Structure 1
Amino acid sequence: MLRTATAAALRRVSPAPAGSVHTPHRRGPELQAAWVPLYKRLSKLPPAAPLGCVAAELDRWLCERKPLCGHQLLFYVRKLRNFRQHRRALELMDWMEARGANLLPGDHALRLDLICTVNGLEAAEEYFLSLPDMYKSVKTYSSLLHCYAEHKAEKALELYEKMRTMNIVPNTLVYKNLMSLYLKTGQPEKILQTFEEMRANGVRTDNFTYYMLTESHIMLNGLESTEKFLEDLEKSIPVHWSLYTRLADSYNKVGQFDKAGLTLKKAEEVMDRGEMFAWHNLLSLYASSGNLSEVKRVWSSLRSELKISSNRSYLVMLSALKKLDDFDCMQQVFQEWELTQESYDMRIPNVMIKAYLAKDMTDEAEALRQTAMAQGHSNPLTFYIFTESYLEKSRTEAALEVWRDAGKMVKTPNWAPPPELVKRFLKHFEEAKDVDGMESFCACLEKLECLDTDARDALSRTYVAAGRKNLSSVAHHQIEEDSIETRPG
């Protein structure tokens, strides 16, 4: 029965599925209503869920005898990627390919990029080499160029020269990758050359290429000249808001906050008021310039224009208020989020926890931690925030209590605490000759399966320093491990 349902569904994983809702174009701009339930199921999979959970969810969908559309699944992939769920996106593409979905060169380019992000550059290279020649198009070459630009600049330039010898005509994406590469390698003058080459070859320029051009102009000619450059640009094309925010950011960095404010006004005049990311930029940059009144005004406008504020919006606003030290407003915004949030985002309570701890409001911070743990929402950052804060204030017992809760707070697979943090604890207990504290800490490490030789040695030294002879179970375990390692084979 399952095999029959799967076979029928595979026939529907195609560019134009029969008898099911489908996107009229290769990649539609919106998620079709009939496919929203599946997307929600995939996007709500917890980050700590094991590999294979995406495939299992899709198989369940098939068992429910619901159709699948290749176009819509690829839309899911891009959506997941936009929200940095790269592993989930790659799992979805693996599932599609394993079931014979018809992937085009652009889809292979997307998959190559995901492989590089999830599994590294070497895996991406192997995937590219395994592709049939018919799929080694400008799109897949451009994707590989992007991977090299991120990790190996020299190989990126070598690949570009190879593409030229193969008469692969560069497209906008290739030129954008080149510009990013030149910026990364400190060659801003070559960005202008690349831009001029694009125009000479009739290749379409876009907002990103103009952004890179502005970036290079700032580096080569300074802020005043860049301001004049944007004024001249306004006469020929509609200037994207991001060019103004880039200039405003540079003004902030040199302390010219008045000029930053004027530039942000220009950005607000030309931006799409329905674009959430634009509002977030304004909030962050006004906060960096120390302008609390503008932060509050922009927040009010954002909520008025977009009606519903996302978790990301609350995170940006709370971070802006924290930077400006408006604690009362932070509490108001956080309480509003608690009442209106549709999905829990631990990054938001983490901002409040930092603010509480900075003001020695430990009870309030701990209350948030306990509530989050009870609901299973904590993450590694929550753990780091508390341990670092308690150690800085010499509250070792409180920090140790956080360690005991580490298993409840961190759900990331194969997670291990940072070595430097472990060393700080070991050093403290050893210098204090605190055997009980050291034993308790090592027990936590053992529970997390990261009790290593350094920790065992520190435990032994602490016993010797304290003159203790009665060994705990942890110490006995250490002696047994050492005897096994030194026992003749």
Structure 2
Amino acid sequence: MAAAPSIFLKLIRTGTNSSLRFLSSSPSSIALKSEVVHDEPSISVPVEEFDGGGGDDLKCRIFRLRLPKRSATNVIEKWINEGNQITIHDLRRISKELRKSHRFKHALELSEWMVSHKEFELSDSDYASRIDLLTKVFGIDAAERYFESLPPNAKTTESYTALLHSYAASKLTSKAEDLYERIKESNLPLSAITYNELMTLYMSVGQVEKVSTVVEELKSQNVSPDIYTFNVWISSCASSLNIDEVRNILDEMSAHEAGPSESWARYVKLVKIYLASGQLVNSEVNSVVESDKGITQREWITYDFLIILHSALGNKVILDQIWKSLRMTNQKMISRNYACVLSAYLMLDCFNEVEEVINQWNTSATTDFDVSMCDRLLKAFQEVGLIEKAEAFRVLVSKKKCDTR
């Protein structure tokens, strides 16, 4: 259940495509972003008619290679020899899906195929992705050799940061610090992502006191901190229960232009701090939620995350009590509150409770049942691979005659 908070955030966000990166284990996914390339070169080898069935595309063929030892390169060559075309955008898209599925060896083969065909112009992100894949498939030494073999114009901020991420993930502090000095000497423009990698490394090896030093250097270089920067910084202070410094950081965050992501990040970190310090874990639920006094929607968000975090800890008894207490408050519940507790019970496979919450929502005199919210909840579970939970939820909602798509 360690990844549950990040899953829950995806489930209960009311936004559409934005995602919160501050709960991920590392910021590498930001550094390895893909880019859309227009007017892409393509390869076409006209031969005999394509003999595949309906829906038989290149991605499907590669994903049917269940064993890593099977060659994705052979699949690509066969695809082309059947008279089909392939673009660098296709390869990037398939590679991204392979990485999501932890099919790193096949993703690396796609990268190698791109490198071997000179008609494809590689981007900075392509080089960075290759470094990450080499680390995962062959180890850090292979990634180092590849990076050092790159021409000077390919040693960009992204490729440097990808190697720094590999060092950080392997907890190679000395190598990471040496590379960081090389990055600074290169005079390349840096973003918060590079600093975040170093901060994450120091957190993982227990050198939390160095995090603030990195933040100070980031500021001295006039680099704007991002939401991940703030949250690693807060975590470093929270780990030593330096709550006064946490409050100072939160004040600094408030001084920035705060969008929805920043607001949610601050709330979840605050709740985590309280949990870590034992102020909520060991308290009686009635002291957390007092049914005889009203609470604001601002406070409701904190309680939503309290539900999430206790669910991640598997504390169903406390979850039951919190939900019962919240329903006795004077504050009107909204769709987000119901979606939050539904997500929590679904993650714990408590389907009887899920049905009860649907009943409560569907019969509420103050809050209309929100079919679109359930649709988003269903889609979110599907997107994170929780297909069985998604189907169980769909069946329960349909049983109550509240259709979902």
Normalized against structure 2, the TM-score is what? 0.58
User: Residues 330-369 of structure 1: matches in 2 within 5 Å?
Assistant: 336=392
Q: Cα deviation per residue 1:301-334 (whole Å; 9 max; x = unaligned)?
A: 974433333274648xx9xxxxxxxxxxxxxx59
Quick one: which amino acid aligns to residue 127 of structure 1?
Y
Change (3 A) 1:167 1:231: closer
Whether the aligned pair in 1 keeps the contact of 2:192 and 2:223 (CA below 8 Å) is yes
Quick one: which amino acid aligns to residue 73 of structure 2?
A
Query: Of residues 265, 268, 274 in structure 2, which corresponds to 1:251?
Result: 274
Quick one: which amino acid aligns to residue 382 of structure 2?
S
Quick one: which amino acid aligns to residue 157 of structure 1?
E
**Residue of structure 1 equivalent to 2:378:** 307
Change (3 A) 1:267 1:62: farther
Distance of 2:64 and 2:246 partners within structure 1: 44
**Residue of structure 2 equivalent to 1:181:** 201
Distance of 1:104 and 1:55 partners within structure 2: 21
Aligned residues: 287
Q: Which has the higher helix share?
A: 1
Aligned-residue offset at 1:187: 2.7
Distance of 1:310 and 1:280 partners within structure 2: 21
Tell me which structure has the larger Cα radius of gyration.
1
Aligned-residue offset at 1:38: 3.3
Whether the aligned pair in 2 keeps the contact of 1:125 and 1:144 (CA below 8 Å) is yes
Query: Of residues 85, 93, 98 in structure 2, which corresponds to 1:80?
Result: 98
User: Residues 37-436 of structure 1: matches in 2 within 5 Å?
Assistant: 37-46=57-66, 48-52=67-71, 54-100=72-118, 101-151=120-170, 152-223=172-243, 226=246, 229-230=249-250, 233-234=253-254, 236-238=256-258, 239-257=262-280, 269=301, 284-285=311-312, 287-288=314-315, 290-293=317-320, 296-298=341-343, 299=346, 303-308=374-379, 309-310=381-382, 312=384, 314=386, 336=392
Distance of 2:299 and 2:385 partners within structure 1: 18
Distance of 2:308 and 2:130 partners within structure 1: 30
Whether the aligned pair in 2 keeps the contact of 1:86 and 1:117 (CA below 8 Å) is yes
Quick one: which amino acid aligns to residue 111 of structure 1?
R
> Sequence identity, in percent?
24
Whether the aligned pair in 1 keeps the contact of 2:378 and 2:393 (CA below 8 Å) is no
Distance of 1:157 and 1:251 partners within structure 2: 33
Quick one: which amino acid aligns to residue 310 of structure 1?
Q
SS at match of 2:74: helix
Whether the aligned pair in 1 keeps the contact of 2:195 and 2:218 (CA below 8 Å) is yes
Q: Cα deviation per residue 1:379-419 (whole Å; 9 max; x = unaligned)?
A: xxxxxxxxxxxxxxxxxxxxxxxxxxxxxxxxxxxxxxxxx
Per chain length, whose mean CA-contact separation is higher, i.e. which structure has more relative contact order (CA < 8 Å, sep 6+)?
2
Whether the aligned pair in 1 keeps the contact of 2:41 and 2:88 (CA below 8 Å) is no
Aligned-residue offset at 1:51: 3.6
**Residue of structure 1 equivalent to 2:334:** none
Distance of 1:257 and 1:60 partners within structure 2: 59
Distance of 2:88 and 2:189 partners within structure 1: 29
Q: Cα deviation per residue 1:18-54 (whole Å; 9 max; x = unaligned)?
A: 699xxxxxxxxxxxxxx994334434542x34241x2
SS at match of 1:65: coil
Quick one: which amino acid aligns to residue 131 of structure 2?
L
Q: Cα deviation per residue 1:196-255 (whole Å; 9 max; x = unaligned)?
A: 332332323222111111111212444576367436634544225344334434433454
Distance of 1:232 and 1:164 partners within structure 2: 26
Whether the aligned pair in 2 keeps the contact of 1:245 and 1:281 (CA below 8 Å) is no
Quick one: which amino acid aligns to residue 195 of structure 2?
Y
Unpaired segments of 5 or more residues in structure 2? 1-36, 44-54, 290-296, 324-339, 347-353, 355-369, 397-405
Whether the aligned pair in 2 keeps the contact of 1:15 and 1:70 (CA below 8 Å) is no
Whether the aligned pair in 1 keeps the contact of 2:274 and 2:280 (CA below 8 Å) is yes
Distance of 2:300 and 2:58 partners within structure 1: 36
Aligned-residue offset at 1:17: 3.0
Distance of 2:216 and 2:181 partners within structure 1: 18
Distance of 1:227 and 1:288 partners within structure 2: 28
SS at match of 1:68: strand
Aligned-residue offset at 1:174: 1.6
Distance of 1:266 and 1:288 partners within structure 2: 24
SS at match of 1:205: coil
SS at match of 2:85: coil
Whether the aligned pair in 2 keeps the contact of 1:189 and 1:220 (CA below 8 Å) is no
SS at match of 1:307: helix
Distance of 1:303 and 1:36 partners within structure 2: 32
Over aligned residue pairs, what C-alpha RMSD do you find?
Answer: 4.1
Whether the aligned pair in 1 keeps the contact of 2:40 and 2:89 (CA below 8 Å) is no
Change (3 A) 1:61 1:180: same
Whether the aligned pair in 1 keeps the contact of 2:310 and 2:319 (CA below 8 Å) is no
Whether the aligned pair in 1 keeps the contact of 2:128 and 2:159 (CA below 8 Å) is yes
Change (3 A) 1:49 1:143: closer
Aligned-residue offset at 1:146: 1.7
Change (3 A) 1:192 1:15: same
Aligned-residue offset at 1:296: 4.4
Aligned-residue offset at 1:158: 1.4
Normalized against structure 1, the TM-score is what? 0.49
Change (3 A) 1:233 1:174: closer
Distance of 1:117 and 1:211 partners within structure 2: 26
Aligned-residue offset at 1:175: 1.0
Quick one: which amino acid aligns to residue 378 of structure 2?
K
Distance of 2:68 and 2:395 partners within structure 1: 27
SS at match of 1:310: helix
Change (3 A) 1:254 1:287: farther
